[in-house]
Amino acid sequence: MIHLRGLVAVVIVFLTANAATLPDCAQADVQYFPIPAVSTSKNDGNDTGLIFPILITDPDGELKYLVAPMFVQNSIVGSRGSFNLFRYEPGGREIRFIGSYTEQIERRVVFTYADPAFSQGRYSLNFGASFFKNATSRFFGLGEATSESAQTNYTAREARANWRFGVYANEVTQISLGQRFRQVSLQ
């Protein structure tokens, strides 16, 4: 689809042009640089593209945001546009968001929040959710006698959610309770 390529290109240009205005921090430093992306994998095909990380620091020089739009051409699933946002705060608090869309089948959305010093350091709190469709999963059969030529591919669709709450008993011991949800379907 030409429309996806054009949309991703416009988004990358827009984010790059406006990188300095993302956070409203006095004297914050913004650095950005393109990185070529090249990889090959037997299952996932060949990738070529560009990652454009934007590093945003506070006035003290501490990294606050990492924004990394990415555009990759893959030999199996076509063009992939991706947006990665990482926010870092004092005390180890971290927020992550990743969104990815390809021309054919693959989708990915990930959100996580981690606060190891929740409520002035007495507790820890983590939660997150993700959804993805992977078009290049492989199945080789059952048992060790299955030959590699018997492989077949399938689309794996998966949704996950998790949370964990912890109480610090002392400086090195944490008592935590959590739950994970995972739903998988094969297409």
Predicted local distance difference test score (pLDDT) of residue 21: 47
pTM of the model: 0.76
pLDDT single digits (tens) 85-99:
999 998 899 999 999
Predicted local distance difference test score (pLDDT) of residue 25: 46
Of 171, 159, 69, residue with least CA distance to 117: 171
- pLDDT reading at 44 higher than 90: no
Predicted local distance difference test score (pLDDT) of residue 6: 60
7-16, Cβ contacts within 8 angstroms, sequence gap of 24 or more: 7/81, 8/69, 8/71, 8/79, 8/81, 9/71, 11/69, 11/81, 11/83, 12/50, 12/52, 12/69, 12/71, 15/52, 15/54, 15/67, 15/69, 16/52, 16/54, 16/69
Predicted local distance difference test score (pLDDT) of residue 20: 46
Q: How far apart are CA 45 and CA 51, in angstroms?
A: 18
pLDDT single digits (tens) 2-36:
455 665 555 555 555 555 445 444 567 999 999 99
Contact 97, 87 (CB under 8 A): no
Predicted local distance difference test score (pLDDT) of residue 144: 80
For the chain, domain boundaries = 2-186
- pLDDT reading at 152 higher than 90: no
Q: Which of 51-60, 123-132, 149-158, 160-169 has the lowest mean pLDDT?
A: 149-158
- pLDDT reading at 181 higher than 90: yes
Mean pLDDT score of the chain: 86
